[in-house]
Amino acid sequence: MPLQLPIRKRLFVRSDRVKFVDIHPVEPWVLSALYCGHVTIHNHTNQTLVKRIEMSTSPIRCAKFIARKQWIVACGDELRLWVYNYNSLDKVYDIEAHSDYIRYIDIHSTFSYVLTSSDDMTVCLWDYNNNWCKLATFESHMHYVMMVRWNPKESLIFGTCSLDRTIKIWGINPDKFSSSSSISINTANFTLSGHERGVNAFSFFFKMGSPYIVSASDDQSVRIWDYQTKQCLQVLCEHNAGVTCVLAHSNIPLILTGSEDSKLNIWHSAIYRLERTVTYELGRIWCLSQSPSDNYMAIACDEGTIAIELGDETPIASLSKGRVYIAKNFDILSGNIRNGSNEQLCGQNIQISFKSLGSCEFLPQLLTHHPSGRFFTVIGDGEYIIYTAQGMKNKAFGKSNQFVWSSTGDYATYDGTHITIYREFEELYKFKAGFQVIKIFGGHLLGVASSDFIVFFDWNEHILVRRIQGNFNNVFWSDSNTRVALVSNTSCYILKYDHNSFLVSVAANTPQDDEGVPSTFELDTEITERIVSGVWVCDTFIYTTVGLRLYLYTTGVPDPHAYLDRKLYILGYSIETSKIYLIDRDGNVLSYNLTETYLKLNTAMLENNWGLVLDMVAEIPTHLRERISVIVEAMGNIQLAVAITVNASRKFELALSTGDVELCLEQLNGDSYETFYKGALKSPDNSSEVNSPRKSASKMQIEPINIERWKRLGDKALQLGNISIATTCYNTIGDIQSLVLLYIISGNREELAKVSQMALQNGELNYAFHGFYLLGDLDKCIEILLKQNSESAAVIFAATYKPSKLPTLIDSWKAQLIRDGMGNVADAIVDIDKMDEYKYALEVEKVVDESCIYNRTVTNAEALGELLKFDTLSLYVKDDSKSSLDEFKDLLNKCI
């Protein structure tokens, strides 16, 4: 069967004729050399133009990145090499290189060497770290030299191909090179001959450790050469025009060829079988280029540039019983994770010594283990083989596009028509799904998915359990088989599964429709993340996301366990090492610590066993305790979250939300600023001056968050009626406004006097005035008004409450008016001593002072109301002063 290899188009850009393409080793960039003389860089992830350089008016035949220098080097029909900085677009070098058109450039992977080939039938070697000095010229071809390439395995060997129908292999000796003169070399190591017309391209490749060469020619053929015996092993003839380019893929056993017939042929490099022919309708194909870091490829065509991704970047690997199994091309490798260093830091690659178990008969595309770990299955090329884990002995095989294990060791295959169930490696039954099957899934139930829904069947008798709407690309069952994660392209749904409901329905012979038994599945939660990989350990779902996060989910909220530096895939969990193992696309294995106790604690939370949770919390590390507290809070048990958390700030916030102001105060008193706060409330040396916490806080640069917490706690305590804690909080931060309000409410004259004096010293005169006014300290009120330069307000206040102060205040007011240039206003102010009402006002003031009403508690509210309505001055004008004053005195006495 054909190789089952997906090809995804990542970039499609129409343009003038493209003669060459290259892919940046780090950035997602495709470099295109255009026949019109321009060079472009496109981003293949978002399909945008990054750079455009107008190098020439003649064709550019080749352009490549020199990433370590941040350069682009290009050549063409102007016989020169151009070097540009691809960040600044400045031209760095312009070198006269050949006497005829330059066809190709190749950059050495480690040395600062560059090879160029030309229609002048020569190849030149350059050193770009030595001011692009020409080191050597190679002359032996009898026609245009179309391509030159370094051998990727032998650093001092390169090859050339020419329209003289030959391929030549050359060697260099750096010891013979000199920057002062260029040497000429006329003899190649050996020559390969066999093509009937000119050779346009070639590529080195390696199979089973042996070196080979593949070449493409105008004779419409592709030839495979044994590098060691110099013999032609195979001739591939599937093109209808000259073959212009060829590439042996370095990661996948594929050979790709492009031709003037506009076809891209993909060949199996092991058996030289044509696997697929692709046509992109962009005309003739001129160049193929592979990314050095992934499976991306670029194609240069007459009418534009294409970037494709071959295969799936998911590594073909599995973890079972402490061993990692990885497929590398046709080889199956195995390594013991316990042989890695125990001191390996989380998130760092583990040094595992892999050994080959053997080779597979086809290219593996999936590797999966039997639940017991005794067997593993390799799937690919429409076939599957079940091997024993020990010794990799063939246990069973068959034709199938898909293969899955059940949780008990049964397995199912799908061949494109039938789904077949096997038990003990013997066929149990087979059936047709009745709809287009996209994928099948293993686990406790057999999942069969279409593009719109997934259907779960019982493994034993092919009984429909439930049909669930949605487009799902993966299914993960928990170890207890009571929960399942259904993963789509945008989110993940965690469902509860009730097997008893299914058994009851079957026992009762309940008629079923196409939806199955509705009560078997119940939605637990939806995780709105794009999930890359996942696994259940106990009752915890562990998964990685496209956002490069490793999460745990049991209940409540997803628990972020680690931040990843690249895309990783979960291999599995090992109880022996208490680690979760992950793998990247290159086969590097790394781990993160995850204790079994923490997983059991998550299960206890799922079961609402709060007593066990509290007992087990002490056994886990501090940073994990905090995460447990977050989950418990999300589940609504705030009191337990308070008890578990070790973070003082978090404990304060949680306690405040529950109204536990005593615990909040305890947390704040444990703050690093405790000494300062307590000292700020004391008057040093028993002096009358009281230090201001607010003033001292500004000097010591107290963090605003602490002041804000004390304030919030005070407000909460006041709301709950806890005056004591509210007072402590407001005093701690010197919250004058709140303290004034608090002491007014509580009637605490002594403390109100202190806080008013504090406000006066701090310059908070409005609060000080309000406090002294309520205390009846009228002299202080007048003093405050004068401090504010409000002589007029002081006069009005004194006229109402302290007439005896009027003469002095009026004189002060007049003096201020005169200083301000308003002498005419000062002259208009009457002489208060000449007014009869003033004398009466002094008598009223005397009566009030003698009653000491400001310092006594009012006991008769009704009398107080009458007193407030009593207008002594009006009664004096209408009546005699004696009766009016006596009546006023009686009301005062009734009040107190």
Q: What is the per-residue DSSP string for 17-84?
A: -EEEEEE-SSSSEEEEEETTSEEEEEETTTTEEEEEEE--SSPEEEEEEEGGGTEEEEEETTSEEEEE
CATH number (domain holding residue 202): 2.130.10.10
Residue 278 and residue 196 share a domain: yes
- How far is it, in rounded angstroms, from Cα 525 to Cα 247? 48
DSSP structure class, residue 833: G
- How far is it, in rounded angstroms, from Cα 459 to Cα 450? 19
pLDDT-above-70 percentage for the chain: 91
Residue 169 and residue 151 share a domain: yes
**Parallel/antiparallel/unpaired status of strands 383-388 and 394-399:** antiparallel
Q: What is the 3-state secondary structure (H, E, C) of 342-405?
A: CCCCCCCECCCCCEEEEECCCCCCEEEECCCCCEEEEEECCEEEEEECCCCCEEEEEECCEEEE
Q: Is the pLDDT of residue 342 over 60?
A: no
Residue at 461 is within a domain:
no
Mean pLDDT across 639-668: 85
- How far is it, in rounded angstroms, from Cα 776 to Cα 790? 20
- Domain boundary pick from 288, 310, 332: 310
- Domain boundary pick from 310, 329, 357: 310
- Confidence label for 471 from pLDDT (cuts 50, 70 and 90): very high
Q: Residue 397 burial by CB count (10 A; 0-12/13-18/19+): exposed, middle or buried?
A: middle
- Residue carrying structure tokens 């999966």: 368
Residue at 615 is within a domain:
no
Q: Is the pLDDT of residue 7 over 60?
A: yes
Neighbours of 704 (CB within 10 A): 9
CB 594 within 8 A of CB 579: yes
Number of domains in the chain: 3
- How far is it, in rounded angstroms, from Cα 474 to Cα 452? 14
In 3D space, the residue among 165, 128, 140, 145 whose CA is nearest the CA of residue 61 turns out to be: 145
DSSP structure class, residue 337: G
Q: Any idea of the CA torsion for 717, 722, 725, 731, to the nearest 10 degrees? A: 80
CA 588 to chain centre: 21
Question: Identity (one letter) of the amino acid at 457?
Answer: F
Coil vs helix vs strand at 318: strand
Residue 866 and residue 797 share a domain: no
Long-range contacts of 397-404 (CB under 8 A, 24+ apart): 399/1, 401/4, 402/439, 402/440, 403/366, 403/368, 403/377, 403/379, 404/368, 404/440, 404/441, 404/442, 404/443, 404/446
- Mean pLDDT computed over every residue of the chain: 86
CB 662 within 8 A of CB 588: no
Residue at 471 is within a domain:
no
Q: How many helices (H) does the chain have, and how many strands (E)?
A: 22, 56
DSSP structure class, residue 805: G
- Domain boundary pick from 277, 310, 343: 310
For 864-880, give one letter per residue: b (16+ CB within 10 A) or e. Answer: beebeeeebeebbeeee
Structure tokens at 530: 């794009």
Residue 809 and residue 882 share a domain: no
In 3D space, the residue among 141, 129, 131, 68 whose CA is nearest the CA of residue 104 turns out to be: 141
Residue at 766 is within a domain:
no
- Cα dihedral across residues 873, 874, 878, 879: positive or negative: negative
Residue 115 and residue 211 share a domain: yes
- Residue carrying structure tokens 């999942």: 447
Residue 272 and residue 182 share a domain: yes
Helices 704-719, 723-733: axis angle to 10 degrees equals 160
Task: Read off the pLDDT of residues 477-499 as tens digits, 9 standing for 90 and up.
Answer: 999 999 999 999 999 999 999 99
Q: What is the 3-state secondary structure (H, E, C) of 735-797?
A: CHHHHHHHHHHHCCHHHHHHHHHHHHHCCCHHHHHHHHHHHCCHHHHHHHHHHCCCHHHHHHH
Q: Residue 782 burial by CB count (10 A; 0-12/13-18/19+): exposed, middle or buried?
A: buried
- How far is it, in rounded angstroms, from Cα 200 to Cα 703? 72
Residue 138 and residue 212 share a domain: yes
Structure tokens at 453: 């829904």
Mean pLDDT across 211-229: 96
Average the pLDDT over each of 107-111, 341-345, 366-370, 468-472 and give the range with the smallest value. Answer: 341-345
- Confidence label for 727 from pLDDT (cuts 50, 70 and 90): confident
Neighbours of 390 (CB within 10 A): 9
pTM of the model: 0.70
Residue at 251 is within a domain:
yes
At residue 217, the pLDDT reads 97
Residue at 298 is within a domain:
yes
- Confidence label for 668 from pLDDT (cuts 50, 70 and 90): confident
Residue at 843 is within a domain:
yes
At residue 360, the pLDDT reads 86
Residue 875 and residue 830 share a domain: no
Q: Is the pLDDT of residue 534 over 50?
A: yes
CB 261 within 8 A of CB 272: no
Coil vs helix vs strand at 724: helix
CA 19 to chain centre: 39
Task: Give 109's contacts (C-beta < 8 A, 6+ positions apart).
Answer: 150, 152, 155
Average the pLDDT over each of 113-127, 445-459, 676-690, 788-802 and give the range with the smallest value. Answer: 676-690
CB 43 within 8 A of CB 305: no
Structural domain of residue 808, as residue ranges? 785-855
Q: Is the pLDDT of residue 614 over 80?
A: yes
Residue 886 and residue 835 share a domain: no
Mean pLDDT across 864-876: 67
Task: Give 770's contacts (C-beta < 8 A, 6+ positions apart).
Answer: 740, 756
398, β-bridge pairs: 384
Residue 875 and residue 789 share a domain: no
Residue 798 and residue 889 share a domain: no
Average the pLDDT over each of 339-348, 413-422, 684-693 and give the range with the smallest value. Answer: 684-693
DSSP structure class, residue 689: P
pLDDT-above-90 percentage for the chain: 51
- How far is it, in rounded angstroms, from Cα 673 to Cα 792? 45
- Confidence label for 799 from pLDDT (cuts 50, 70 and 90): confident
Task: Read off the pLDDT of residues 268-320 as tens digits, 9 standing for 90 and up.
Answer: 888 898 989 999 999 999 999 999 878 899 999 999 999 999 887 888 999 99
Q: Any idea of the CA torsion for 43, 47, 53, 54, to the nearest 10 degrees? A: 160
Residue at 245 is within a domain:
yes
Residue 882 and residue 789 share a domain: no
- How far is it, in rounded angstroms, from Cα 543 to Cα 531? 7
- Cα dihedral across residues 884, 887, 889, 891: positive or negative: negative
How big is the CA angle at 661 (ends 660 and 666), to the nearest 5 degrees? 105
In 3D space, the residue among 63, 134, 146 whose CA is nearest the CA of residue 103 turns out to be: 146
